[in-house]
Amino acid sequence: MNHQFFQKYRIDRLTFGLFRNLMLMTTGGMVVVALIFGIGMWRTGSRFFEQVTAMFNVSQPAPEVDVRSLVVQQVRGASELTTAVFTMEAVVPTRQARTVAGYPIAETTLLYIAYGEVRAGVDLEELKPENVAIVDDTIQIQLPPPRILDSKIDVNRSQVYDYNRGFLGLGPDTAPQLQSLAQQETLQKILFNACNQGLLQEANTRSQLVVSQLLTTAGYKNVEVKTQPPQPETCM
């Protein structure tokens, strides 16, 4: 029992001595650093503080600008860029019959004169940084494919030219339905003609010109704008 007690007492004294030596070494190191600092101040005076300050004022690397993201932000500001508009006036006849026991007894006809408009261009919100490349001192940008941005009937300029319910007015009174049908048919006809007359190709050409001028105005000297062909489903 006494042997174990003295052995534990000896270990504790060794641990305490080791800890005391470490403390003395740490304190001595701090004294040496303080001494060096004091000697440096005494020998160099105010220059010592300048040297210390210079250690923390090392010139930092110049900030870098992601030119591609900057170009995308500038171009996206135009959002949907309408570069071509197709307008057309169409005369669309519609009709609906009234039947009794499967036999037509009268027919209502409506003749609608519609004025429609189709806008085409590129949606610049689809532009991404990977669509911009920098080759030497030239900025190359790949535009999204052109598409139909909007198609509508100008109801203020369109009108029902003729509405006839047939013999003795026995035809169904369906003017609103026939007018709506005429407008739908007009839109399809206008879209078909706009695609056949190269509206999307014209939108591509003008988009290329507009974006080139936009970037040149923003300060870029060498700009190359590339276009893409329209998607096949755009003009089905």
Q: Which residues contact 197 (CB under 8 A, 6 or more apart)?
A: 86
Write down the pLDDT at residue 37.
55
Residue 92 lies in a domain: yes
The number of distinct structural domains making up the chain is 2
One domain for residues 71 and 158: yes
Dihedral in degrees, nearest 10, Cα atoms 226, 230, 231, 235: 170
Q: CA–CA separation, 219 vs 233, rounded Å?
A: 37
DSSP lists the bridge partners of residue 107 as 97
Residue 61 lies in a domain: no
One domain for residues 88 and 174: yes
Q: CA–CA separation, 24 vs 2, rounded Å?
A: 33
Q: CA–CA separation, 94 vs 228, rounded Å?
A: 39
One domain for residues 28 and 72: no
Residue 7 lies in a domain: yes
Q: How does pLDDT run across 36-76, given as a tens digit for each residue?
A: 555 555 555 555 556 555 555 555 555 444 555 655 665 55
- Residue 31: give the domain boundaries: 2-56
One domain for residues 19 and 78: no
Quote the mean pLDDT of the chain.
75
Residue 88 is encoded by which pair of tokens?
Answer: 């057309």
Q: Which residues contact 124 (CB under 8 A, 6 or more apart)?
A: 75, 76, 78, 79, 80, 81, 143, 144
Query: Please, are residues 179 and 112 in contact by the beta-carbon 8 Å criterion?
Result: yes
One domain for residues 73 and 148: yes
CB-neighbour burial class of residue 86 (10 A; exposed 0-12, middle 13-18, buried 19+): buried
One domain for residues 119 and 19: no
Q: In this model, does residue 146 exceed pLDDT 90?
A: yes
Q: How does pLDDT run across 73-127, given as a tens digit for each residue?
A: 655 555 567 788 899 888 889 988 887 777 777 889 999 999 999 999 998 888 8
- Tokens 């000896």 appear where? 10
Write down the pLDDT at residue 30.
54
Write down the pLDDT at residue 145.
93
The predicted model gives 153-161 an average pLDDT of: 90
Write down the pLDDT at residue 1.
46
Q: In this model, does residue 206 exceed pLDDT 80?
A: yes
Interhelix angle 2-44/46-56, nearest 10 degrees:
110
Classify each residue of 31-58 as buried b or exposed e, where b means 16 or more C-beta atoms within 10 Å of its C-beta. eeeeeeeeeeeeeeeeeeeeeeeeeeee
Query: Please, are residues 124 and 81 in contact by the beta-carbon 8 Å criterion?
Result: yes
Band of the pLDDT at 136, cuts 50, 70, 90? confident
